[in-house]
Chains A and B, each alone.
Chain A
């Protein structure tokens, strides 16, 4: 298994500002991902954080809006740029590891944009 720590756990931000979320895994993992889950909705994959190279973004998500860093095998950051109220959501960091490539999640970062 993997223990994943995210911070901040929650924040209230002004529109037009940016927020960086940090994710730390307690072991080296090959695959890390960032998800978004809006209230009452299912998980949406934002991107795969690739170590040492640019993240791979899903349709509808772009690097300018959601820049991601992955400097090593245990750490990643997601920045939500130029925020608007529509960005209010929970952002979840996850890592894939173990037999069967199980996904483990951090506790999430609750973002409210006002």
Chain B
């Protein structure tokens, strides 16, 4: 089982749709959680951190369920510019910090 698993997609949605991505992690020593966005042929960029209480940034909402070892990202009112790959990222502390990247979920938003 991979340490961080994501549905690879692709998700094809129309503009204005709401889309949700899920991510599960296997190591209970996971301490911090993030969603990154990667555009084609670009470097990954931090989209948002994920907190246990849930957090929102404009059209984006991230949630963490530690009991189920599950992270989600909700995008409301999708824009064409949201088309990208979304990476789930987990930091472990197992005597030293280790960062695990999910393989990413591809999103295409269509006009």
Contacts and interface: CB of A to CB of B under 8 A. Distances in A.
B57 interface: no
Q: For this complex, into which size category does the number of interface residues on chain A fall?
A: 10 to 19
Interface string A21-58: 00000000001010000000011010000000000000
- Say whether chain B's binding surface is mostly helix, strand, loop, or mixed: strand
Given A92-B43, A108-B42, A108-B43, A103 B99 contact: yes
Interface string B8-41: 0000000000000000000000001010000001
Interface of A: 1, 31, 33, 42-43, 45, 90, 92, 96, 100-108, 110
Contacts, number: 44
A102 B34 contact: yes
A-side interface mostly: strand
Nearest to A30: B97
